[in-house]
Amino acid sequence: MKIAIQGRLGSFHDIAAHDYFGKDGVESLCCATFEEVFREVAAGRARGMVAIENTIAGSLLHNYELLRDSGAVVTGEYKLHIEHSICCLPDDDWDTLTEVHSHPVALMQCRHYLERHPGMKIVEAEDTAGSAEQIAKEGRQGWAAICHSSAARQWGLKVLEEKIEDNKHNFTRFLAVAPPAQSSSNEENASANKSSLVFALPHAEGALSKVLTILSFYDMNLTKIQSLPIIGREWEYLFYVDVTFADVQRFHQSIDAIAPLTKELTILGIYKEW
């Protein structure tokens, strides 16, 4: 099974893909951007694993747009505990390191740790695992990378210290996505208890309140709501909503009930909550 991910082998997307889909029989299709990931999924060449929100950095807003525009279907979710390690070439050590490379978000999440090592120059890179790959392939003496320890093992680097992140309660939620033709009928699965949907609303007083009241009446538990402006339509918004439920039939009834009050209503997926 090919799974399109953003980043390199050993990246957090790669870890999430193998944790969710299984260690064996999964091939990560490494993509430079999230746009490329969704192109692969939309073309039917792969399923995908994409980050959608982080407990520290918040929502990845652009991925909501890419999900909707691509027509991909959400088939599941996975929550990964984010842990960072600092690694280098086997012959290097603390007294030989001069700079540290990683993605800007990873560097930010290890800020306090890096402050205790002021002798190292901080260099931003495109990817955590990509930094480890570059050090290994180019034999960069004196360089360190911040990444997951599995990326260090992937590229044969030495781990100097694990769990160097400042916040030990950092999680990223990923969505498993598939082309419509490949997605399973999760609504027929008794374990399906969550859905992601998106809709627009008329610019009228109480429009959102009415929708939320109906969802509550049908026992839908609202776990997330995210609004994004509709480009070219001033002061109009798309609302991305996650709900959990105990009865999928009640869920479909709630969708039928709110449909007349919304515009451009789309169910992005029905799946099992992680």
Rounded CA separation 143/176 (Å): 34
Note whether residue 186 is domain-resident. no
41 & 149 share domain: no
Note whether residue 274 is domain-resident. no
What pLDDT is recorded for position 180?
83
Token pair for 191: 């374990």
* Contact between 220 and 246 (Cβ < 8 Å): no
174 & 66 share domain: yes
What CATH code is carried by the domain that includes residue 46?
A: 3.40.190.10
Backbone angles phi, psi at 257, to 5 degrees: -75, -35
What pLDDT is recorded for position 186?
45
Note whether residue 187 is domain-resident. no
What pLDDT is recorded for position 189?
63
Note whether residue 207 is domain-resident. yes
* Contact between 37 and 6 (Cβ < 8 Å): yes
What pLDDT is recorded for position 182?
62
What pLDDT is recorded for position 25?
83
Instruction: Quote the number of domains for the chain.
Output: 3
Q: Which of 136, 131, 167 is nearest to 11 (CA)?
A: 131
63 & 174 share domain: yes
Low-confidence ranges of the chain (pLDDT < 70): 181-190
DSSP-assigned letters across all residues of 19-51: HHH-SSS-EEEEESSHHHHHHHHHTTS-EEEEE
Cβ burial of 135 (10 Å; 0-12, 13-18, 19+) is buried
What pLDDT is recorded for position 183?
54
How many other C-beta atoms lie within 10 A of the C-beta of residue 46? 23
Element (H, E) at 172: strand 171-178
What pLDDT is recorded for position 49?
98
What pLDDT is recorded for position 185?
46
What pLDDT is recorded for position 187?
45
Q: pLDDT, tens digit, for every residue of 39-77?
A: 999 999 999 999 999 998 889 999 999 999 999 999 999
Rounded CA separation 86/210 (Å): 50
Assign 3-state DSSP to the chain and report helix, strand, coil percentages, each to 5: 30, 35, 35
Last residue of one domain, picked from the residues 114, 147, 178: 178
What pLDDT is recorded for position 203?
81
Token pair for 249: 């039939």
Rounded to two decimals, the pTM is: 0.90
Structural domain that includes position 238? 193-269
